[in-house]
Homo-oligomer: A and B are copies of this chain.
Amino acid sequence: MSRHFLAEGLELSGGDRGLVAVVAAVALAALAVGYVLLREVLAAGQGTSKMQDIAKAVQEGAAAYLNRQFRTLGIFVVVVFVLLFALPAEDTGERIGRSLFFIVGAVFSAIIGYLGMWLSTRANVRVAAAARETGGREKAMRIAFRTGGVVGMFTVGLGLFGAALVVFVYVGQAPRVLEGFGFGAALLAMFMRVGGGIFTKAADVGADLVGKVEQGIPEDDPRNAATIADNVGDNVGDCAGMAADLFESYAVTLVASLILGTAAFGAKGLLFPLIVPAIGVLTAVIGVYITKARTGENGLTAINRSFYISAVISAVLCTIAAFVYLPSSFASLQGVDGAVAATPGNPALIAAIAVIIGIVLAGVILWLTGYYTGTEHKPVKEVGRTSLTGAATVILSGISVGFESAVYTALVIGGAVYGAFLLSGSVIVSLFAVALAGCGLLTTVGVIVAMDTFGPVSDNAQGIAEMSGDVDGDGARILTELDAVGNTTKAITKGIAIATAVLAATALFGSYKDAIEKALKSVGSEFNDLDFVTFAPNVLVGLIIGAAVVFMFSGLAVNAVTRAAGAIVFEVRRQFRENPGIMDGTVKPEYGRVVDICTRDSLRELATPGLLAVMAPIAVGFGLGVGPLAGYLAGAIATGTLMAVFLANSGGAWDNAKKLVEDGNHGGKGSDAHAATVIGDTVGDPFKDTAGPAINPLLKVMNLVSVLIAPAIVGFSVGADASAGVRYAIAFVAVAVIVAAVIVSKRRGTAIADAPAEATTSA
């Protein structure tokens, strides 16, 4: 037992149990605050009947999509539930708990996603309506940000409540059960990110290609049959997908912290990671309530200010909590690992610094992302300026911005991990420090979710305003400004999300190693570090495969969007062709058909990348072994971090460069420069809203799958029950599933390439 992280024999004192109850109460309070904010948002005016009609169409389309998506995913969840139940476990209690909380995690993830979509589709019209009033800028911004606040409160509330509940019930077995909880959350979030991401960008790209590029009509023009689908997409992708994603980040980071905390600090290590996010709930409430743009101030400045204020408050309160709750020497901690008691250093100080590192990391990423994707800084201005030499230079400069920002973001995240690692000479304590830095990041999640939701709500509000034609002048300008701010806040969230992925994955790595060590011991075998050294050729091959999966996943996601967009181009052209009245504005296009196509295609397209994420670690683990699987995870984390930030930030920069030109720079709307930036924006769409953000849950899913299958791999590899036949058979099935999924998706062809053929002949 002494070398293992888990602590089945761990007991909580009465005081500790009380503390868990308090944390649960704080979590419920967060839900209550969320409800209050929800009432406030819904109380706002809904504008003209035309606006309400549009909003209603969007609401219906979004709800229809999510309902169908949940039905599809439900089957998948049941299958995984059964597989999970079949995997090795300590005892039946753990087995049942793990599978049960897998469902709970998935359901919570779904609830958050659904709520995000439900509320956003109601807030968008209210933001548009508010922009028309006097003092509209403040009112519109307030509604948009508080909408985000609701989602933020529910995210942290449900995440914290779930974790507290598991700790209360399972105590020492909580970490293992939480693996199921985190896995459920991550898996559902990944599918929602991918499916929603394909929906939103297929609609967006399809709408732009026919509308802006071919017919020369503006974005969100009601004559374009894809506009409603575009707005639906914002809600199912950017709102629902993102909310589920951040909930998953929250859950998985907590899982990693609780696992490592128990090993490093004993019972106090199980509870301190609950205290930190509970403090985060408090400061998130403050952050949401104090956000208010001063007159003439950029919306982003106001949002950033509240972020920084709440971050500072978090840091102060967490430091106090660390010194009050944790002892000043390891001797008095009942760490599970006997060696920890002799570790030099001050646990309270280590914990406080680790949490602060996480909070500072969030602040630095916020600043860095704002710098690289904001309209008022050099990078986006330069991308905008290159529009004068055409689309090629826009693409190249955007890619450069993406590469550069990815490097700095990765270095900052790496620096945070290294900083936390240096806090202690004990590996297990330093891993816990990394996990605590992740908890530090979590204290900002409430505000981050609020910031992110702000983006699609503003985008939608502008869409409704444009389609209805009922908002003009100042109102329209306000909405454009909020939309640009939203582009940057969305990019920031992605940066934070990927940071949580790296921190959680680094920490989970420890639990992967532990799972293997333990499994080996149970079959009477020795753990051999040599199997995990980076320079062993097989580990290096694992690393290359891990990096390759990130590229493949990104390629599949981008491809899925272009394929689905092709079908939409085809449909919109058909409507224009068969019904000339649409172009005159005398006939309403059939919006519903485009929504249906998006729904059908996204659900069909999400299977391949989803299966890849689940099956690839199984193939590598059973096929090549536990060492190469460790290499695989490391390769995926390193490449995934850079790729995720690259895709998010180059996309964000292109989007805002287009906004810059639309604001009248370099020739303004309709100029060649504008056309060049529209091309950049279209390329960036699947980058930033489909492939990029899905990498975050991808990394977590792959990590958790690896942790969960580790004992089974060991079981089939060494000891009495070893069976090379079964082992390779499992790997073979996994590879076969991936290959079959890829072939099926290839078979569908490149619809965007096929569509023109028909269109050209009949145009």
CB within 8 Å of B: which A203-260 residues: 205, 209, 213
CB within 8 Å of B: which A520-558 residues: 529-530, 532-541, 543-549, 551-552, 554-555, 558
Contact partners of A391 in chain B: CB under 8 A = 391, 679
CB closest chain-B residue, reference A538: B421
Cα(A641)–Cα(B404), bound, Å: 19
Residue A624 lies at the interface, judged by CB distance under 8 Å to chain B: yes
Contact partners of A752 in chain B: CB under 8 A = 386, 389, 393, 397
- Cross-chain contact A209 with B389 (CB below 8 angstroms): yes
Residue A327 lies at the interface, judged by CB distance under 8 Å to chain B: no
Binds B, one of A189-197, A600-608, A631-639: A631-639
- Cross-chain contact B544 with A382 (CB below 8 angstroms): no
Known: A634-B543, A752-B389. A534 touches B537 (CB 8 A): no
Contact partners of A536 in chain B: CB under 8 A = 427
Residue A388 lies at the interface, judged by CB distance under 8 Å to chain B: yes
CB within 8 Å of B: which A356-415 residues: 382, 385-386, 388-393, 395-397, 399-400, 403-404, 406-407, 410-411, 413-415
Residue A753 lies at the interface, judged by CB distance under 8 Å to chain B: yes
- Cross-chain contact A411 with B642 (CB below 8 angstroms): no
Least distance between A99 CB and chain B CB atoms (Å): 26
Residue A464 lies at the interface, judged by CB distance under 8 Å to chain B: no
- Cross-chain contact A555 with B392 (CB below 8 angstroms): no
- Cross-chain contact B552 with A403 (CB below 8 angstroms): yes
Least distance between A728 CB and chain B CB atoms (Å): 13
Contact partners of A642 in chain B: CB under 8 A = 544, 547-548, 551, 639
- Cross-chain contact A392 with B538 (CB below 8 angstroms): no
Residue A467 lies at the interface, judged by CB distance under 8 Å to chain B: no
Residue A112 lies at the interface, judged by CB distance under 8 Å to chain B: no
Binds B, one of A161-169, A180-188, A318-326, A508-516: A508-516
Residue A417 lies at the interface, judged by CB distance under 8 Å to chain B: yes
Cross-interface CB contact of A534 among B396, B558, B634, cutoff 8 Å = B634
Cα(A213)–Cα(B679), bound, Å: 16
- Cross-chain contact A510 with B535 (CB below 8 angstroms): yes
Number of interface residues of A (CB under 8 A): 94
Residue A682 lies at the interface, judged by CB distance under 8 Å to chain B: yes
The A interface is mostly helix, strand or loop, or mixed, namely helix
Contact partners of A633 in chain B: CB under 8 A = 534-535
Residue A760 lies at the interface, judged by CB distance under 8 Å to chain B: yes
CB closest chain-B residue, reference A546: B638
Residue A263 lies at the interface, judged by CB distance under 8 Å to chain B: no
Cα(A216)–Cα(B184), bound, Å: 57
Residue A506 lies at the interface, judged by CB distance under 8 Å to chain B: yes
Cross-interface CB contact of A399 among B558, B634, B682, cutoff 8 Å = B558
Residue A447 lies at the interface, judged by CB distance under 8 Å to chain B: no
What are 8 A-to-B residue pairs whose CB atoms are below 8 Å?
A: A209-B389, A388-B753, A399-B558, A403-B551, A417-B541, A529-B533, A638-B639, A679-B679
A-side residues, CB < 8 A to B, are 205, 209, 213, 382, 385-386, 388-393, 395-397, 399-400, 403-404, 406-407, 410-411, 413-415, 417-418, 420-421, 427, 430-431, 434, 502, 506, 509-510, 512-513, 529-530, 532-541, 543-549, 551-552, 554-555, 558-559, 561-562, 566, 569, 624, 630-631, 633-635, 637-639, 641-642, 646, 678-679, 682-683, 686, 750, 752-757, 760
**9 nearest A-B residue pairs (beta carbon):** A403-B555, A388-B756, A392-B682, A509-B535, A385-B753, A547-B638, A421-B537, A532-B533, A534-B634
**A-B contact sample (12 more), CB < 8 A, given A385-B757, A399-B555, A534-B543:** A213-B390, A397-B752, A399-B558, A399-B683, A400-B558, A403-B552, A403-B555, A406-B548, A421-B538, A509-B534, A529-B533, A534-B634
